[in-house]
Amino acid sequence: MRIYVQFNKKEINLNYRELAEKMWFKTYQEEPLELSHTGNSETLQENYRLGLKWDKGLNDERWQSKKTLWKYEDISVNPIRNNSILYFETRHIYLLSVDKRALYIMVIAFAKEVEGLISEDATKTWETVEEFENKHYDLLNLSFEKSNEISLVEADTLEMIEEPWDNEVEYT
């Protein structure tokens, strides 16, 4: 899945760990969030780059029995077009509810931070944060626990199609 956010303000003061805890949870079953990340608050603030992944099986043993790559979904953000747009990308076109919810929370946090508009159609059309939130209201208002329960079922049936690797990100 790919989503774009226009920059209107160049300063990002988000903390990567606090962001991840909003995306998934702070503690689940009395255990802290097990998170893999590429970058940190500093790389995010200086280079607008961050990759996050909830290691599902380390927090919920039910994921350990799943024979699928759905146990891991990378969610990343990178600048494109001379730092004028933030590009959000996941590994797969279709996402489990728990990961899609996390992606949307991330996009909203960044869009608010940079006072930007959001595009889900490769920058053909743009919408406000409020429009995006309204469009995805049902998913955004699921609790982490409910979206995780739904995802445990989806993992057995959802078709896994990887995003093509062609994009505008300059990996340096």
What are the pLDDT digits (tens) for 17-26? Answer: 999 999 998 8
Mean pLDDT across 50-79? 86
Residue 155: how many CB atoms within 10 A of its CB? Answer: 20
**Distance separating alpha carbons of residues 72 and 102, to the nearest angstrom:** 13
112, 158 in Cβ contact below 8 A? no
74, 102 in Cβ contact below 8 A? no
Split at pLDDT 50, 70, 90, the class of 171 is low
19, 134 in Cβ contact below 8 A? no
Mean of pLDDT over the chain: 90
Q: What are the structure tokens assigned to 47, written together?
A: 């280079």
**Distance separating alpha carbons of residues 29 and 46, to the nearest angstrom:** 35
Higher pLDDT residue, 166 or 149?
A: 149
Split at pLDDT 50, 70, 90, the class of 31 is confident
Residue 170, pLDDT score:
67
Q: Residue 92: phi, psi to the nearest 5?
A: -120, 155
Split at pLDDT 50, 70, 90, the class of 71 is confident
Higher pLDDT residue, 55 or 5?
A: 5
**Percent of the chain at pLDDT exceeding 90:** 62
**Helix 144-154 / helix 97-113 crossing angle, nearest 10 deg:** 130
Give strand pairing partners of 36. 53
pTM over 0.75? The answer is: yes
Give strand pairing partners of 66. none
pLDDT, tens digit (0-9, with 9 covering 90-100), for 108-137: 999 999 999 999 999 999 999 999 999 999
